[in-house]
Amino acid sequence: MDTKNLSGKVAVITGAASGIGRATALAMASRGADIAICDIDEPGLKETAESIEKIGRRVTSARVDVAVQDDLRAFADQVDASFGRVDIVVNNAGIGVGGLFVDVPLDEWDRIVGINLKGVAYGCHVFVPRMIAAGNGGHVVNIASMAGFCQAPGMTAYCATKFGVVGLSESLRIELAEHRIGVTAICPGVINTAIVRTGRNYGPLATDERREQGARAFERRNYGPERVAEGILKAIAKNRGLAPVSPEAWTGYWAKRLFPWLVGLVGRMGMRSLR
């Protein structure tokens, strides 16, 4: 799909009240798309919607918890009623959970799998059949992470969901090719967004000091969500199956393929700081 000019196209973005989702909604609106956005954060969603209107594009928005199937079904109906078509779906909504495996309660596993993995599956399930029926082709973008191909101690639950998103996306890509619908798993590295402050942590990681350290590291890295949005547009244009975004994500991608032992070694070194 030509992403330089998206006029006449409709893009759906989940988790668009903040960070990568908001930046992607604005980038797609700037290129001419009409936008459907959802999130659980209603004030943030309103801000994103106002920014889209300022760009001069049409927008529809809804409070949606992506872990709730009925919320997403109702949202898909709303998008149909507002625009009558869907060309791009970005399943972006996600949360972070930090902590050693033994410290993270199973309820937290249910929560993160519900949002980060099932939320992506539900998003695909409600929109893809409509895209197939419309016969216009299109693109599904699922936001994974470099933690979708590199293991990371202290992030077992998060890694499990993001490896899952990569597997879902790569398999779905084959199934949808005959409908001219591309599927991309986007794998960002360390992106300076709210997620580092809003994620829940457990065990030795659950201190204010650790949270501050993490947040400062993300700020120092200073790689903004707008750059991920550009990466998403490029990946759609080139119909990439898996797209690392940021130098650290590309390094992890090649290291995992060429020197998998090295990724394990870095993980073991990281483990020391988690005890």
CB 13 to ligand NAD: min, Å: 10
**Which residues have a Cβ under 8 Å from the Cβ of 56 and sit 6 or more positions away?**
none
Chain residues in the site for ligand NAD (CB under 6 A) = 14-15, 17-21, 39-41, 44, 64-67, 92-95, 115, 143, 145, 188, 190-191, 193-195, 198, 225
CB 253 to ligand NAD: min, Å: 13
**Which residues have a Cβ under 8 Å from the Cβ of 93 and sit 6 or more positions away?**
14, 15, 21, 38, 39, 66, 115, 119
CB 215 to ligand NAD: min, Å: 11
> Whole-angstrom Cα distance, residue 139 to residue 1?
8
CB 70 to ligand NAD: min, Å: 13
**Cβ closest to ligand NAD, residue 6 vs residue 37:** 37
Return the active site residues: 158
> Which letter does DSSP use for residue 118 in this model?
I
CB 264 to ligand NAD: min, Å: 20
What one-character-per-residue DSSP string does 33-77 give?
-EEEEEES-HHHHHHHHHHHHHHT--EEEEE--TT-HHHHHHHHH
> Whole-angstrom Cα distance, residue 71 to residue 198?
23
**Cβ closest to ligand NAD, residue 180 vs residue 200:** 200
Side-chain half-sphere CA neighbours of 7 within 13 A: 3
Joined tokens for residue 256: 């995992």
**Cβ closest to ligand NAD, residue 108 vs residue 137:** 108
